[in-house]
Chain A
Amino acid sequence: AQKVTQAQTEISVVEKEDVTLDCVYETRDTTYYLFWYKQPPSGELVFLIRRNSFDEQNEISGRYSWNFQKSTSSFNFTITASQVVDSAVYFCALKYTGANSKLTFGKGITLSVRP
């Protein structure tokens, strides 16, 4: 069975602060993919990143960075110098490799960035 835990439910920061969103996962599969999505109030899911289980390199994309650590089964997401437009719900998700494999989502973290 797979499980994704996003222990933080709501985070509120002031603009320009850095913020880290935590994600811990459980899976018995050796090959899997991890994702982060942003869901603004409009509802659509905006893809942010995909990482496969064999690639533990951290990634940076502009103000966004991700820290993948298999040893602790974590895939944390950091926003540097947060902006009001970053306010949204952020989901971490897990998918194993295989036919018809579905995504298992965490409960999501509501991030509010105040001006």
Chain B
Amino acid sequence: GAVVSQHPSWVICKSGTSVKIECRSLDFQATTMFWYRQFPKQSLMLMATSNEGSKATYEQGVEKDKFLINHASLTLSTLTVTSAHPEDSSFYICSPFLEREAFFGQGTRLTVV
């Protein structure tokens, strides 16, 4: 299957700081990357869809100015959580669009203190 590398796997940051999460497709080119968020004991919910070379699209209720997505190349998409607050503590996971498959990065567990 497709190899997707996501870093960091976990991060603890202070409230008010920004955190960048990287998602790389190692053996294929991903024109579209999905970013999901999972709160404790809940399911995965799509936050946003990034497209290489164009603006990301955000799901309803997700603040685009808070969750900055950059997809500057076909192998790298990044999610930056700006001015993080404790309520942003969650598990973030990326998944490149593939026609028939669905693979995921390892996920990033963000804790904001």
Contacts and interface: CB of A to CB of B under 8 A. Distances in A.
Interface of A: 33, 35, 43-45, 47, 50, 52, 91, 93, 95, 97, 100-103, 105-108
B43 A44 contact: no
Interface residues on B, range: 20 to 34
B32 interface: yes
Contacts of A45: 44, 93, 104, 107
Interface of A is mostly: loop
Interface of B: 1, 32, 34, 42-46, 49, 51, 91, 93, 95, 97, 99-104, 106-107, 109
B97 A100 contact: yes
A33 B101 CA distance: 9
Contacts of A108: 42-43
Nearest to B108: A43
